[in-house]
Structure 1
C-alpha cells in the first residue's frame, strides 16, 4: 500500500562490490534550529509518509519519534471503518428495512464481512510482525555498537575490529556488505532502512501505511493485506454502485452511499494496481528495491552509459539469480501450504526463514559469478584514459 520506498537510498549499493559500504542510512545532517527541534515530530511524520529525507535536529537520532508513524495506520483504519459504516448504513440496512430484500442483503453482507475480517487480521499481522533483522535471525553480533556512527569521536579502529571479529553471513553474491549504521555484516538482499534505523532482511520497502518495513518475515502478510483490501474495495464498489444506481431515489442513498461508492472506487483502482505489481514481483522473485535498481540499470545500459560494476542480483543479460520459476518463487514467499496462501496465520515455513539463505538458479548464478570475475579483471574507465 506504500507507493514509495527506500529506492533512492539503495542506488549506492546497487552494485556488487564487497568494499562498498551501505550508505543508505538516513539524512545524517543536523539542524541547530530550536523551532525545527520542536516541530521535529511533524517533520518526521512528513518524512516517513513521503520517504523524503529530512535533516535531524541536533541531538536526535534516526528512529526517534517513530510513534508518529502510527498516524498513517490510524488513517487507513479510519477510512476502512467509514467504508464499513457507509456500506451497512446506506446499502444493507436500506435493502433490509425499506425494500425488504433479505436475500439480497445477506448476499451483500456475508462476503463483505468475511473480506473485512480477513483484511483486519492481515493488517494486524503486517503491522505487528517484525520484518526480520540480521541481529535477530541467527547472525553473530555480540559486540555491536549501533548508534556510535552519530558520534563524531567514533573510533575507526574499533569499527575495523568489529569487521574482523564478527561472523560473516553466508552469501552467494560475493562478500557481504558492511552497514555503517548498525555496524554489522549484512547478508544477500538485506538493506538498511533510514526511517526504522535498522537493517532489514530481504527488504522490499519501507511502508508508512503499516508503520514499518516489509521484509522476509512479513512479506506474505503484506501480500495478503493488499489482496484483501483490493477485494474488499472491489466488492464494495461494485455492489454499492449497483444499489446506488437502482435505488438512488431513496433519501438514505444520497450522501453516505455516494461517498462509499467514491471511496471504495478509489481504493479499488489505487490498491488494485499496486497489488498486481507486487504479485508480479513475487512471481519474478524481485523485491521493490531490486526491481527499481534493475530498471535504472537497464535504462542506463540502453542509453550507452558505461557500467563499472555488475548490478546486484542480476546478470548483464538481465537474468535474476534468485528467479527459480514462477511456482517456486511463489512458494518461497507464500509457502507450500495452499490454505495459508489465503489465511494470514503463522506457519512452520515462516519460522524456517532465516533471511540469509534463499533458493537460486544455479545456471544464472554461474553466469553472474563469471561476469563478476570478468568485470574485476577489466581496467577501470580512468585507467583506460590516456595520460
Structure 2
C-alpha cells in the first residue's frame, strides 16, 4: 500500500512536467480577456457615452480614467511576474548554518566540496533532483525542473513559478485584477440587466454579445481572484507560502512568523512609496536579505537580540 501511494505521488509530478508544453500559450487567454473587456468598456459602451452630455458623459470620464489606470497597473504587474525570475540558487552556494533542521536525510557537509558543518548540526538540505544544496525555504519545481527560492507555486497563467523575487508582483497582479474586474462588473451591470428587460439596447447583436461576455468573464474573475487574494494575504500575514502551509508549518512555533507587520515587509518592503508598484527601493534591496530569497530572519534571531 505504501509503494502504491508513492507511485501515485510520482505519477502526479510526472503529469505536472507536461505543463511545460503549454509554454507562453497561456498568456493568450489572459490577453484575450483583456481585449474583450477593453472593446466592451472603451469602444462599445463608455467611449461613445462621452458624447452624450450631462451625467452620462461625466460617468464615462470617471470610469474610463479608472479603467485605464487599473489596466496599466494590472498589465505592469502581470508582465513583471512573467518576465521576473522567481529566484535561482546561486552557483556554488553554501549555507552559513543549517536553517531547516530535520527536513531531509542526514548529509555530511564534507560531501559537498569540503563544506564545514557544525558537529551538532549535521542535517543539510539538498535537492536530489538538482544535486545541489538548497537554501532555506527553497523547493524544487517539477514543472520548471529546477529549485526556486521561497517557492510558492507554479502558475500556468503567468507561465512562471511564483517565488521570492516575484511574489510581490504576483500579489499586485491579483490586487489590480480584482479592482479592475470589479469596476468593469459594476460598470456593465446596467447593460447586463437590460438584456433581461424590455428596454431597447443600442448596438448591434455582435457588440451586445461582447458586452454580455465581458460582464460574465469579469464577474467570474472578480469572485475567483478575491478568494485567491484573501488566501495569499493570510499567508503573507503568517510569513508562509502555499507549499509551507501544505506542509503544515503554520503552527504558532513557525520560526519565520515575526508578526504581521514584519512579515508584510519581507514581501512588500519597508518603503511605502513602493508598496503598490511592482518594484523595490534600492535601500530595501540593500538592507533586507529576505528580498533576495536566500536569508530569512527567524524568531530565534529576534529573541537573541533582546538579550
User: Who is 2:264 aligned against?
Assistant: 330
Q: What's the C-alpha RMSD, in Å, of the aligned pairs?
A: 3.4
Residue equivalent to 1:132: 87
Partner of 1:218: 166
Report the number of matched residues: 274
Measured after TM superposition, the shift of residue 354 of structure 1 is: 3.3
> 1:333 offset after TM fit, Å?
0.6
1:355 is aligned to 2:293: yes
- Taking a change above 3 Å as real, the CA distance of residues 174 and 244 of structure 1, as seen in their structure-2 partners, is farther
Q: Which runs of 5+ in 2 are unaligned?
A: 96-106
CA offsets 1:62-108 (integer angstroms, 9 cap, x no match): 69x94632111221121122111111133213422456632111011
In structure 1, what is the Cα distance between the partners aligned to 2:110 and 2:281?
35
Q: Provide TM-score, normalisation by structure 1.
A: 0.63
Equivalent residue for 2:201, pick from 250, 263, 280: 250
Provide Cα deviations, 1:277-327, integer angstroms capped at 9, x if missing partner.
Answer: 111110111100011121xxxxxxxxxxxxxxxxxx456xx4311111111
Please give the per-residue CA displacement for 1:194-215, whole angstroms capped at 9, x wherever unaligned: 1100001111111111111111
Q: Contact (CA 8 Å) 2:49, 2:57: kept in 1 or not?
A: yes
Tell me if 1:103 matches 2:58. Answer: yes
Tell me the distance in 1 between the aligned counterparts of 2:117 and 2:174.
32
Counterpart in the other structure of 1:72:
26
Match among 56, 64, 69 for residue 114 of structure 1: 69
Does 1 or 2 have the higher relative contact order (CA < 8 Å, sep 6+)?
A: 1
TM-score, reference length from structure 2: 0.78
Write out per-residue CA displacement over residues 306-363 of structure 1, whole angstroms, 9 at most, x where no aligned residue: xxxxxxx456xx4311111111100011100112111112432346433221122229
Contact 1:319 1:364 in 2 (8 A): no
The answer to whether the Cα contact below 8 Å between 1:163 and 1:185 also exists between their aligned partners in 2 is no
The within-5 A match list for 1:204-283 is 204-245=152-193, 249-252=200-203, 254-283=208-237
